[in-house]
């Protein structure tokens, strides 16, 4: 009996020692809500899957707050090994000198397995990934088919012309909110421009050099924003502030609004709220325009400089774990985000789960990302773009509320955006784009 007790005690001490000696590293992420729940579940599963490494996954309450904290921590030498950051800040991080390209430190990984649409935003001009795509999303169109069926509509509109026709039918039937959006630039500027093959800025949206200038204030984007303002005035479209719910996607989920453009990452909550009433399709096009690919949204994982040895090896093990097919598929199930590698997508299809409503965004989102591309649908390489989004949103919201014309708002956003680009160019003068 004593021998058994001694053996048991030795085993407990050994296990405790292993846990204490395990290489610990910090991963800072920006998501909240159901996505945060999924991230924490993945962290817990990684820690439980082995005893060699421990991931401390710490939420920062938002992407921007997370990056600002990470850069400040980097300057003081107290930064995490991994950070999650969203698409808009890609160039800022690439040139920050605070991160190391993930493909450079993990050359053994089959990075070619990443879907073209998932990798293009985060790769260098040589096609090497700077960060590891993680929670991948893109823009799709949502419809409450029960409400559309009440006016005799059986299919989700594929064009804006069809959408407006359906919206008018709904309005005539007494529906107070046919279409809803928050008019965020990710939806009405970036995703719209990409799939319509329209430039946001010169120099192939900045890929050609830091001397790019904004040019969205003329052409298809300007026409579309003016259309949105007209549809709102006509009572066909509501913004956040117009809805009873106060937020466009909540208004859709609660049945207040019949149609919306939103991220694939919004699907989980919509399906949970509306079930089989929800149908999705690729985001609408204007008639006569060839469809191009939409852009990857969501975020990727970046390795910060200044970490070596066990901590770095632990972080690399975590990145390898998150890349596993089954881990990606479970993340898709919990969030509505898409698999980001071909192997995970193939496994999802082969399992038969891709046909389930629960996974409806996966194949459709990938198909949208993998439409034929051109120089204007590759992505954006524009400095201080996070700040520019705020400028764009501020001006267009003022126009929606009647404070100025939409054209004046777009012209002003272009001028203020160009000033940011010139400041960024001066900051990184002589630096070659990755």
Tell me the domain boundaries of the chain. Answer: 15-137+296-369, 139-294+378-427
Q: Report, as ranges of residue numbers, the positions in the chain whose pLDDT lies below 70.
A: 1-21
Say whether 139-294+378-427 and 15-137+296-369 share the same fold: yes
The whole-number pLDDT of residue 14 equals 38
Inter-helix orientation angle 33-49/325-335, to 10°: 150
Interatomic CA distance for residues 96 and 98, integer angstroms = 5
SS3 (DSSP) at 281: strand
CATH assignment of 15-137+296-369?
Answer: 3.40.190.10
The whole-number pLDDT of residue 21 equals 54
Helices (H) and strands (E) in the chain, counts: 20, 11
The whole-number pLDDT of residue 137 equals 92
The whole-number pLDDT of residue 8 equals 40
- Model pTM score: 0.88
* CATH superfamily name and code, 139-294+378-427: Periplasmic binding protein-like II (3.40.190.10)
Strands of 103-157, DSSP E: 132-137, 139-144
Give pLDDT tens digits for 326-346. Answer: 999 999 988 889 999 999 999
The whole-number pLDDT of residue 20 equals 47
Contact 300, 132 (CB under 8 A): yes
């Amino acid at each position: 009996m004593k021998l058994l007790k001694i053996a048991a005690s030795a085993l407990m001490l050994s296990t405790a020692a292993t846990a204490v000696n395990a290489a610990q590293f910090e991963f800072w992420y920006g998501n909240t809500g159901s996505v945060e729940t999924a991230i924490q579940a993945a962290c817990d599963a990684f820690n439980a899957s082995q005893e060699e490494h421990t991931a401390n996954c710490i939420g920062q309450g938002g992407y921007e707050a997370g990056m600002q904290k990470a850069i400040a921590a980097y300057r003081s030498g107290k930064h995490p090994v991994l950070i999650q950051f969203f698409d808009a800040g890609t160039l800022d991080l690439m040139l920050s000198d605070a991160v190391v390209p993930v493909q450079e430190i993990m050359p053994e990984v089959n990075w070619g397995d990443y879907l073209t649409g998932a990798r293009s935003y985060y790769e260098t001009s040589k096609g090497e990934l700077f960060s590891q795509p993680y929670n991948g999303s893109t823009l799709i169109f949502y419809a409450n088919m029960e409400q559309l069926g009440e006016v005799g509509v059986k299919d989700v509109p594929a064009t804006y012309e069809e959408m407006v026709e359906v919206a008018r039918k709904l309005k005539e039937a007494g529906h107070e909110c046919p279409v809803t959006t928050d008019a965020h630039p990710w939806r009405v500027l970036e995703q719209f421009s990409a799939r319509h093959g329209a430039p946001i800025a010169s120099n192939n949206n900045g890929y050609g050099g830091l001397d790019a200038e904004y040019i969205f204030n003329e052409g298809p984007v300007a026409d579309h924003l003016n259309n949105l303002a007209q549809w709102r005035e006509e009572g066909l479209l509501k913004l956040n502030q117009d809805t009873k719910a106060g937020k466009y996607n909540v208004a859709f989920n609660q049945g207040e609004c019949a149609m919306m453009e939103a991220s694939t990452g919004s699907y989980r909550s919509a399906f949970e709220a509306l079930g089989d009433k929800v149908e999705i399709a690729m985001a609408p096009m204007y008639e006569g325009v060839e469809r191009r690919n939409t852009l990857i949204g969501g975020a990727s994982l970046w390795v910060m400089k200044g970490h070596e040895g066990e901590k770095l090896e632990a972080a690399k093990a975590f990145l390898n774990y998150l890349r596993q097919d089954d881990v990606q598929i479970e993340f898709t199930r919990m969030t509505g985000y898409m698999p980001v590698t071909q192997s995970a997508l193939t496994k999802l299809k082969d399992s038969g789960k891709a046909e389930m409503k629960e996974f409806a965004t996966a194949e459709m989102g990938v198909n949208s990302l993998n439409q034929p591309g051109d120089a204007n649908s590759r992505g954006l390489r524009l400095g201080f773009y996070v700040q520019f989004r705020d400028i764009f949103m501020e001006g267009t919201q003022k126009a929606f509320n009647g404070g100025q014309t939409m054209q004046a708002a777009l012209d002003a956003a272009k001028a203020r955006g160009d000033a940011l680009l010139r400041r960024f160019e001066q900051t990184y003068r002589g630096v070659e784009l990755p």
